[in-house]
Amino acid sequence: MIHLRRVPLRRTDEGGFPFSVPAIRALEALAFETPLTFLVGENGSGKSTFLEALAIVTGLPAVAQAAPRDDETLVAQRRLAAALTLSWSHRTHRGFFLRAEDFFGFARYLSSERDQMRRRLAELDEEYRDRPAHAKALAKGPIQASLADAERRYGDLDARSHGQAFFRVFQNRFVPGGLYLLDEPETPLSPQSQLGLVVLLKEMVEREAQFVIATHSPILLAVPGAAIFDFDQVPVARVAWDDLEHVRLTREFLNDPQRFLRRL
């Protein structure tokens, strides 16, 4: 299902970043015609900036320590968000925004939260030592439920590799009917795990989820039926997988790596 149909950008006289980025300055609207949309382009092309602004204006929760509307690193993106409007076919409040660079902070936050809950359970054992067992059970119940839910959804992220922990979040937090904004989710993933993410994306699209993903990964970009928008073009244009510079360069390198390395 396509929940978010179109994102027009209102004309503004504001200057400076991010309105100085050529692709954003020339952008009138981005239309989502498929449940899976990829944004591509070189670093600095504006694809991540647009996705961050979109996360702010949709109000989706973030897999991060701070919500996009409060994140101190997204001040400029909030200026862009103020110029965006949203056209929905079906407004969904399910889903989340994730930037690969935020994940370490998110894992530390979860670890701290778990530690606090465990300490509080130990304190309640002392506080209710001489009181009826059912009173202690009632006091501990909500905390135990929250702790069990966190461990069910995420496990021990500290005990996993970065890529494993990242992938587990996708496995446990993708739900049907959600809208997911992902910025370079391939960053910590091996090629095999990227293929695993492709499988998840296809499964969730079949369950009425929608994805907008900024990526450099030719593997993710190859998902059949996905729309790919190139932010290196001005104005931003939809392109085919075979025509992408990312794909052409990767293919040529793998076909003859020594030819490239001799030039370095």
SS3 label, residue 232: coil
pLDDT of res. 153: 64
Q: Check residue 83 and give its pLDDT.
A: 93
**What is residue 168's predicted lDDT score, i.e. its pLDDT?**
80
Residue 92 identity: T
Question: Token pair of 3, please?
Answer: 């929940």
pLDDT at site 9: 93
Report mean pLDDT in 10-residue bins for the chain, 264 residues.
94 84 94 96 93 94 78 89 94 89 64 73 81 80 75 58 71 90 89 92 95 95 94 94 87 83 72
pLDDT computed for residue 210 by the predictor: 97
Given a contact cutoff of 8 angstroms between Cβ atoms, the answer to whether 2 and 86 are in contact is no
DSSP string, 196-228: HHHHHHHHHHHTT-EEEEE---HHHHT-TT-EE
Q: Let me know the angle formed at the C-alpha of 66 by 61 and 71, rounded to the nearest 5 degrees.
A: 105
Q: What is the pLDDT of residue 131?
A: 81
Q: Which helix (H) or strand (E) holds 95?
A: strand 95-99
The CATH code belonging to domain 4-102+177-261 is: 3.40.50
What is the predicted pLDDT for the residue at 109?
61
**Is the separation of the CB atoms in 68 and 44 below 8 Å?**
no
Tell whether the torsion through CA atoms of 9, 11, 12 and 13 is positive or negative: positive
Give the separation between CA 165 and CA 92, rounded to whole angstroms: 26
Q: What is the pTM of this model?
A: 0.80
* DSSP E strand stretches across 108-207: 179-183
pLDDT of residue 103: 64
pLDDT value of position 240: 93
